[in-house]
Amino acid sequence: MSKVDAQSGMVHRGPVKNRSCTDIFCLVIFIAFLVGWGIIGFYGFTLGDPQRLIHPTDSNGKTCGVDETVKDKPNLFYFDLTRCADPSIFITGCPTPQVCVKSCPTENFVAVTLADQIGEVLTKDKMKCKDNVTVAQYSVKQLVDQGLCASYYLQSEPITSRCIPSLTNMTKDSVIFSNSAIRQFTVPIDEIVNGTIFLAELINAGQTFDRIFQDYSETWWIILIGLAVSMIISLFWIVLMRFAAGFMVWLSILAILALQGVGVWYCFTRYTELKDLPGGNNQTLAQIAFTTNLGSYLELTETWLAFLIILGISMAVIVLMLIFLRNRIRIAIALIGHASKAVGNLMSTLVFPIFPWVFQVLVIGYFGAVALYGASIGKSTFKVVGPDNTTATNCSCTSVIDSVGTCIPLGFEQICSSQCPGAICKFFETGGNYYVTVLQIYNLFGLFWGLFFVSALAEMVLAGAFASWYWAFNKPRDVPYYALTNSFFRTIFYHLGTVAFGSLIIAIIRSIRVFLEYIDRKVREYSDTCCSRTMMCLCKCCFWILEKFMRFVNRNAYVMCAINGTGFCESASEAFSLLFRNIARVAVLDKVTDFLLFIGRLVIVTSVGVVSFYVFTNRIDYINEYLPPTNYYMVPIITTVLGAYFISGLFFSVYTMAIDTIFLCFLQDTEINDGSPEKPFYMSQELMEILGKKNKL
């Protein structure tokens, strides 16, 4: 773990060079898991067809607009709309015959009545009949009574390729429903009108998404400029911290206090103005419905009162921390300064997070593709459904129906229609068997393990690079060349097993949390009691705390593994013991440094957010002529702020890892060294002054 400099005799500590592979068994398991994940992906890509999920399927299992016989019929038509006026039809289907059609009906139509009135020979397309029906062999009444053709239909619109009745002219006073002859045939217009209210909301939501997409298409270049500015500010902030860490941290604290003070003053002003305004809006947030017009919320006194309270409490917390933790803050600032110099000497570490981010995107993309193709694996399944949209239990026809209710569509219509009145053989799902479920569970666990593996690998690589910097006595002269590259290959060659071990623990805990969420939903469906809700909440809270704790342990274990080359369990034990012996410093310094970095990040994001607000609300006159109009100005503002938060997070994640590594090295430095010529301190001069230590050279 150490070597002696031949000239000075000083002991240099740092990442050991002579090391062996760690946790090989976990690496073997991880490789086997990846092979299995690849096999599952190949199985899904070979047998799956996502078009089955994207396009609707008729009663015979044919995919509208895709299968050869219905390629020119992209829309799905429902015979009885009263049994389909429910949002669940987009997922579970509708218990009524369904056929693929070229276009949705453009008129209101009642088959029997119009046939009696006009006396025309109705075509199969006009009647909206099943594919295997010969219209000429039956009368119109027979076609309707036997369920071979639709008895009526309404003017419809294609929504997600399903023919859904439009609300236009759908009233009792419309021409078709007010005709005395037509009223002899019962058309349940009340049920249709009431049941399609949600469709109007769906259409409005679709229009809202269209407007949001339009805003993005018009303002994307401005958003990119804002993201580029946030990247430049983040990089400039880190470079400044390289030379004046203390000044930048205190500037961040003062800037955030100033912004909060201005916010408190503005919120108080708006609150008093709206409160004293005659005829002001005194509604509460709970009384108004959700609306996409975000400006309506800003006209409420309760909104500004909530903002005032939140800003006031956060400002008071910061002031109290500055008063009671000022000495700890000085040490934290010194650690940040130490980390700033490390990042400044290893500038390549600022670019490195881009690579794990790319790999994480690839993992998510592979997971999504496997999930999509896996969901479409298998043959179409048909089940007998009764009039109440549940599986029929009084159907005695067993020649084409098995014990679990699975049926054959054509055989059911020919043999069982008389024995099972009111029941139909309906398309149920594609795939959905036991093996597909296991595939999806395996795929989900692969997502968790893959993402945590990539992030753990990045943490260990950065830890090795920053540890090399800390344990160089004369910085930056003694810092190894290509410290980041050396740490990367050292991790790849020796410690992938340790990375797999640590990420496996977090993946298992996250999977348990997801399973608890599933159990919680099932419990709420069947037994929603106070006791069950309390127990589930307690379990979820415990595993959330466990995951946070294990993430903390893993992070420090990766640091010790990068330094000492030991396995996961030994590294975690050593790191935990070291931190526990210095629990007072850990409890304060670790969180204070995180808080100070968060303030710097908050200043960057807030600055970008304020500028984008002034830009997109047309408050900067000399650039208004270059800005396109927007439907919702908050859309590009929120996008820019979230993007700035993510980009600043990429840069500050390096800083966080540098601080955690240097903090652990600092604790180890204070324990194994005493400042003597044989055991000098490797910390900065500022840290030694704060702690009252010095090197006796």
Task: Answer left, alpha or beta for residue 696, where phi above 0 means left and psi between -120 and 50 means alpha.
Answer: beta
Q: What span, in angstroms and rounded, lies between the C-alpha atoms of 18 and 163? A: 70
Is the dihedral angle over the CA atoms 680, 686, 690, 692 positive or is it negative? Answer: positive
pLDDT tens track for 218-257: 888 888 888 888 888 888 877 777 777 777 777 777 877 8
* Average pLDDT for 299-310: 79
Q: What span, in angstroms and rounded, lies between the C-alpha atoms of 553 and 502? A: 9
Which of 11-20, 126-135, 291-300, 450-459 is predicted with the least confidence, judged by mean pLDDT? 291-300
Q: DSSP letters along 221-250, please?
A: HHHHHHHHHHHHHHHHHHHHHHH-HHHHHH
Going along 538-691, which residue ranges are E strands? none
Q: What span, in angstroms and rounded, lies between the C-alpha atoms of 59 and 78? A: 10
Which of 3-17, 37-51, 150-164, 462-476 is predicted with the least confidence, judged by mean pLDDT? 3-17
Q: What span, in angstroms and rounded, lies between the C-alpha atoms of 466 and 275? A: 55
Dihedral through CA 437, CA 438, CA 440, CA 442, nearest 10? 170
Res 623 pLDDT > 90:
no
User: What one-letter code names the amino acid at 444?
Assistant: L
User: What one-letter code names the amino acid at 696?
Assistant: K
**What local confidence, expressed as pLDDT, does residue 30 receive?**
96
User: What one-letter code names the amino acid at 84?
Assistant: C
**What local confidence, expressed as pLDDT, does residue 456 receive?**
94
**What local confidence, expressed as pLDDT, does residue 398 receive?**
61
**What local confidence, expressed as pLDDT, does residue 4 receive?**
43
Is the dihedral angle over the CA atoms 367, 371, 373, 374 positive or is it negative? Answer: positive
Which of 17-31, 108-122, 255-269, 628-642 is predicted with the least confidence, judged by mean pLDDT? 108-122
Q: Residues 6 or more apart from 645 whose CB is under 8 A from it? A: 601, 605
| Confidence category of residue 177, pLDDT binned at 50, 70, 90 | very low
Q: Residues 6 or more apart from 267 whose CB is under 8 A from it? A: 304, 305, 307, 308, 311
Give the pair of three-digit tokens for residue 516. 């608890």
Q: What span, in angstroms and rounded, lies between the C-alpha atoms of 566 and 663? A: 19
Q: What span, in angstroms and rounded, lies between the C-alpha atoms of 454 and 361? A: 10
Res 53 pLDDT > 60:
yes
Q: What percent of the chain has pLDDT over 70?
A: 73
For the CA atoms of the chain, what is the radius of gyration? 34
DSSP-based three-state secondary structure for 610? helix
**What local confidence, expressed as pLDDT, does residue 258 receive?**
86
* Average pLDDT for 497-518: 94
Contact 132, 410 (CB under 8 A): yes
Res 394 pLDDT > 70:
no
pLDDT tens track for 336-378: 777 888 888 888 888 888 888 889 889 988 998 898 888 777 5
**What local confidence, expressed as pLDDT, does residue 351 receive?**
83
Q: What span, in angstroms and rounded, lies between the C-alpha atoms of 349 and 655? A: 9
Pairing of strands 98-101, 380-385: unpaired
| Confidence category of residue 120, pLDDT binned at 50, 70, 90 | very low
pLDDT tens track for 538-565: 999 999 999 999 998 999 999 999 988 8
Res 191 pLDDT > 60:
no
Range ranked top by mean pLDDT from 43-52, 358-367, 597-606: 358-367
| Confidence category of residue 515, pLDDT binned at 50, 70, 90 | very high
Res 587 pLDDT > 80:
no
| Among candidate residues 457, 484, 472, the one with its CA nearest the CA of residue 350 | 484
To which H or E segment does residue 6 belong? Answer: none
DSSP-based three-state secondary structure for 172? coil
Q: Where do we find the tokens 């600032």?
A: 333
To which H or E segment does residue 616 belong? Answer: helix 591-616
On average, the pLDDT of the chain sits at 76
Range ranked top by mean pLDDT from 111-115, 287-291, 585-589: 585-589
To which H or E segment does residue 381 belong? Answer: strand 380-385
Res 118 pLDDT > 60:
no
Q: Which residue has the higher pLDDT, 434 or 581?
A: 581
**What local confidence, expressed as pLDDT, does residue 96 receive?**
73
- pTM attached to this predicted model: 0.71
* Average pLDDT for 118-141: 67
Which of 99-108, 410-419, 580-589 is predicted with the least confidence, judged by mean pLDDT? 410-419
